[in-house]
Amino acid sequence: MKKHRVYSISVASVYPHYVAKAEKKGRTKPEVDEIICWLTGHSQETLDDELEKKTTFEDFFEHAPQLNPSRSLITGVICGYRVEDIQEPLMREMRYLDKLIDELAKGRPMAKILRN
């Protein structure tokens, strides 16, 4: 099966858009980083390393230290699709991240975003 082109995009190229979306709504870069680290198990150091290396989304999620088991609690619509119904594992992981950033930008409290 042919891979989606989005898998070969570097996380670093999209990351500034995540931060800009959050900051536009009064949220912060550290909150974006906290979400990414919560989802993937990265520390701030390893996240910064991945961004510096321009790691692709495919490698970023494939080599994530520890994908959070609570990520399955993320539900709702993102990009016109119900995130919980996405069958392709990598696309689902990417949409989880999109959904969390969207929740941040909409003003949802961090405790709820991180499913605490």
- Which residues 6+ apart lie within 8 Å of 76 measured at CB? 82, 83, 99
**In this predicted structure, what is the pLDDT of residue 3?**
76
pLDDT in tens, 89-105: 999 999 999 999 999 99
Read off the DSSP letter of residue 3: P
Please give the radius of gyration of the chain, using alpha carbons only, rounded to the nearest integer: 13
**In this predicted structure, what is the pLDDT of residue 116?**
86
Cα–Cα distance between 89 and 50 in angstroms, integer? 20
pLDDT in tens, 26-63: 999 999 999 999 999 999 999 999 999 999 999 999 99
- For the segment 107-113, the average pLDDT, to the nearest whole number, is 96
- For the segment 14-35, the average pLDDT, to the nearest whole number, is 98
Q: Say what percent of the chain tops pLDDT 70.
A: 98
CA-closest candidate to residue 57, choices 23, 96, 114: 96
Look up the pTM and report it. 0.94
Lowest average pLDDT, out of 3-7, 20-24, 43-47, 70-74, goes to 3-7
CA-closest candidate to residue 19, choices 45, 43, 47, 60: 47
